[in-house]
């Protein structure tokens, strides 16, 4: 009788640990999906920003060409890795984009541009929050995959460590907006 109780308790503990790992993995997928939604929103804002600013700054072709090139890709056709690359490239181009706007006072005063800029800034804030949530979920999952006793179960069922989202060192530096136009 005692052996049966111990076996049942052991099975319940194993089931609980397995379900915990599955929930944590699903939480990661949900968090990445939130990032995906924010990236898509940002992606859709680009044509409106480009159209508004192009009216004022036609000679800043390089910045707009980079933005347009990114926009010409179909977002749905990008895989997760390409979406992360797009995110990194957009962050760099966005800085240049707003630097262009700084040179055109009438553009900065345009209600359309201001509304688009607010929308993009809000999206960026939501994207940053989604990234933090994703990284927290990945950390929680990785802790479960790597700590005893769930690591034994994780290894048996193929739960592997996930990578957190990181920012390249070059993007951590404060941009020198003044020199964006000197290069």
Question: How many other C-beta atoms are found inside a 10 Å radius of the C-beta of residue 15?
Answer: 11
Q: What is the pLDDT of residue 54?
A: 62
- State mean pLDDT over 154-178: 75
Buried b (16+ CB within 10 A) or exposed e, 128-163: eebbebbbebbeebbebbeeeebbebbeeeebeebe
pTM: 0.63
Please name which of 56, 87, 58, 53 lies closest in space to residue 70, comparing C-alpha atoms: 87
Domains and CATH numbers, the chain: 1-179 (1.20.1440.20)
Q: How far is CA 120 from CA 64, 131, 152, 153, 165, in A?
A: 16, 16, 44, 43, 21
Per-chain mean pLDDT for the chain: 78
Helices (H), the chain: 2-54, 61-72, 80-102, 105-108, 111-146, 150-157, 169-172
Which of 63-67, 145-149, 163-167 is predicted with the least confidence, judged by mean pLDDT?
63-67
Q: What is the pLDDT of residue 123?
A: 83
61 in Cβ contact with 139 (< 8 Å): no
Q: What is the pLDDT of residue 177?
A: 45
pLDDT of 73-89, one tens digit each?
A: 667 777 877 777 777 77
Q: Could you tell me the pLDDT band of residue 183, with boundaries at 50, 70 and 90? A: very low
- State mean pLDDT over 129-147: 95
Q: How far is CA 139 from CA 66, 133, 135, 143, 144, in A?
A: 34, 10, 6, 6, 9
């Amino acid at each position: 009788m005692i052996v049966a109780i111990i076996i049942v308790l052991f099975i319940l503990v194993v089931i609980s640990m397995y379900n915990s790992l599955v929930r944590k993995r699903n939480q990661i997928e949900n968090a990445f999906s939130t990032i995906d939604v924010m990236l898509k929103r940002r992606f859709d804002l680009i044509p409106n920003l480009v159209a508004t600013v192009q009216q004022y700054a036609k000679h800043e072709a390089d910045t707009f060409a980079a933005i347009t090139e990114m926009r010409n890709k179909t977002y749905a056709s990008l895989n997760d890795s390409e979406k992360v690359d797009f995110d990194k490239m957009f962050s760099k181009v966005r800085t240049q984009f707003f630097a262009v706007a700084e040179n055109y006072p009438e553009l900065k005063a345009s209600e359309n541009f201001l509304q688009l800029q607010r929308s993009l800034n809000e999206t960026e804030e939501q994207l940053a929050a989604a990234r933090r949530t994703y990284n927290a979920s990945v950390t929680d999952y990785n802790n479960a995959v790597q700590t005893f006793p769930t690591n034994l179960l994780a290894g048996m069922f193929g739960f592997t460590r996930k990578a957190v989202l990181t920012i390249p060192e070059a993007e951590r530096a404060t941009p020198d907006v003044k020199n964006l136009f000197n290069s």
